[in-house]
Structures are given as structure tokens and as C-alpha cells.
Amino acid sequence: MIKDFYIKNMVCDRCIKVLKNEIEAQQIVIKEIELGRIQLNIQNDNELDEFEKIITSNGFEVINNVEEKITEKVKIDLIKIVSKLPLDLKENLSTHLAETMHQDYSKVSKVFSSTEGMTIEKYFIKLKIEKVKELIEAQEKNFTEISQFLDYSNMNHLSKQFKIETGMSLTDYKLLQNKGRNPLDQII
């Protein structure tokens, strides 16, 4: 039986690789795997039990609740947006999410806020700030280039938002020995 599973905290390619390897090691047939979702051909209850053990032992969680599925889909979509630089949204974020989710944005936004305790916009800012930290640590781009890559109107806008989110300036962060990035699955 082909079955879709939505997986909480599956936020990067390493997550996909780990789960793919462990699921295949149990000889469970993977039809499709992507961030936040796995489609399996489950033959029996033993395979289902093994799959659930793999998920929980790796710090993930199968999502059964409709609201949590919506929230996780939003998170995954935003992570995908921020991972492809330069950031290139053709329309505003609310329009993009409404089209991607095939739902009214106000509903998606309300569900996300009630599930996560923050707005979609605030979550997106936090993702962008983590990407800024990553780019600073890579030392390949200056602050102006980073602001342009992440579609800030100017470097001052990025600088102000970075200070609000981290409590420090871009330069202070760059000079830190132990940087302190947050894992994407722990941004709340």
C-alpha cells in the first residue's frame, strides 16, 4: 500500500540522506522522499512499525494533525526559498504561500501562528538571519552582497533586523570566535 507521511523537523538534505539510508536498510520501498515528506510502499504492520522507530530514533516525528501538516509545509517551503540564493520571490510572501499551499493565506497564517506561536513573517526573518550567519561564516561575501542576496532593500535594513534578532551587529557577529548558529529545526 502506497502511503504518504509528513515528517516534522526534516529540514535539510542530510535529513533526507539519513532517513533514506535507514529506511532502505530495512528493505522498505521508498517511492518518493523530499523535505518534510516521505512516500512509502508499506507491505505490512512490521514495516510500518520499523519506519516509525527509524523516524523517532532520529529525532523526527510523523505528523498526523492537519494543522501541523500545514505548518510543516510552510516551514519547508520557506527553507527551500532561503536555501536558493539569490533569494528570488516573484511575488510577496503571502501570495507565494497561498499559491503553493492552494489555500487562502489568512487561513494558512492563522494555523501557522496558532501552531508555532509566531507569524510566518517572523519565522521567515529568523530563517533569513540564520542564512546571513551562514554567509558571514563562509566569508565569501561582504555585508552589502549578503543583503542583496537575501533581498533586503539595503544593507541598513539587514543590519537593523540582524541586531533585533541576535542582539549584536553584523560586524560583532563576524568577529565572534564561537558563532552560535541555530539549527533550522529549532527555530521557533
Q: pLDDT tier at 12 (50, 70, 90 boundaries)?
A: confident
- Residues contacting residue 37 through CB under 8 Å, at least 6 positions apart: 4, 5, 6, 7, 10, 76
What's the pLDDT score for residue 52? 95
d(CA 6, CA 15): 13
pTM summary value:
0.86
What's the pLDDT score for residue 168? 94
Residue in 82, 65, 83 with CA at minimum distance from that of residue 6:
65
Residue 187 has pLDDT above 70, yes or no: no
Query: What's the mean pLDDT when you consider all of the chain?
Result: 92
What's the pLDDT score for residue 88? 83
Task: Note whether 98 and 108 are within 8 A (CB).
Answer: yes
Task: Note whether 12 and 48 are within 8 A (CB).
Answer: no
Q: pLDDT tier at 123 (50, 70, 90 boundaries)?
A: very high
What cell was used for 6?
Answer: 509528513
How many C-beta atoms lie closer than 10 Å to residue 88's C-beta? 9
Read off the pLDDT of residues 14-34 as tens digits, 9 standing for 90 and up: 999 999 999 999 999 999 999
Read off the pLDDT of residues 86-109 as tens digits, 9 standing for 90 and up: 998 889 999 999 999 999 999 999
What's the pLDDT score for residue 25? 96
d(CA 3, CA 47): 12
CA angle 73, 85, 18 (to 5 degrees): 50
Domains of the chain: 2-63 (3.30.70.100), 65-187 (1.10.10.60)
